[in-house]
């Protein structure tokens, strides 16, 4: 028998109980009951939506055209419209091409870039940024 019950019985008073049958005196000292796993339902649909949008964003950020499968005019238009673009020159290589010198960093200069496209073996699509060589010894 709990100490609170014994104390109440000695005094001759009834012991007030909580819903769970725990004496109110002890209920304040106890920790709240642990939450069950079902108290917060997992919203699988929301979770899948968020994950799929992140994957789509990452895929779009990494998407780059393969020069040998894209017409020359389309590659040139891509670089001109975006100011700069990363274009694959083969399945394993890629480079960054820019429309003008404003996309290059300090110390770099635009170098004319020719790539092999689907319809032109020497397609001018813009420039690559390269280091400026300084004459000297």
More reliable by pLDDT, 101 or 44: 101
Query: Domain-by-domain residue ranges, the chain?
Result: 63-131
This prediction's pTM: 0.52
Judge whether residue 46 has pLDDT over 60. yes
pLDDT tens, residue by residue, 74-111: 999 999 999 999 999 998 999 999 999 899 998 999 99
Judge whether residue 60 has pLDDT over 50. no
Alpha carbon distance 92, 95 (integer Å): 11
User: For the residues 57-70, what does the mean pLDDT come to?
Assistant: 72
Q: Which pLDDT score, from 0 to 100, does residue 44 have?
A: 62
Q: Which pLDDT score, from 0 to 100, does residue 59 have?
A: 44
Alpha carbon distance 100, 65 (integer Å): 20
Query: Could you identify the residue written with the tokens 């300090």?
Result: 106
């Amino acid at each position: 028998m709990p100490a609170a019950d014994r104390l109440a019985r000695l005094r001759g008073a009834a012991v007030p109980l909580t819903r769970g049958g725990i004496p109110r005196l002890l209920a304040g000292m106890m920790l709240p009951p642990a939450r069950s796993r079902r108290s917060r339902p997992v919203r699988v649909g929301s979770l899948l939506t968020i994950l799929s949008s992140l994957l789509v964003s990452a895929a779009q950020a990494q998407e780059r055209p393969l020069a040998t499968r894209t017409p020359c005019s389309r590659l040139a238009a891509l670089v001109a419209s975006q100011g700069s673009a990363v274009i694959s020159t083969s399945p394993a290589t890629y480079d960054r091409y820019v429309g003008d010198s404003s996309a290059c960093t300090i110390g770099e200069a635009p170098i004319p870039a020719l790539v092999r496209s689907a319809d032109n073996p020497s397609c001018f699509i813009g420039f690559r940024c390269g280091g400026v060589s300084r004459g000297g010894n």
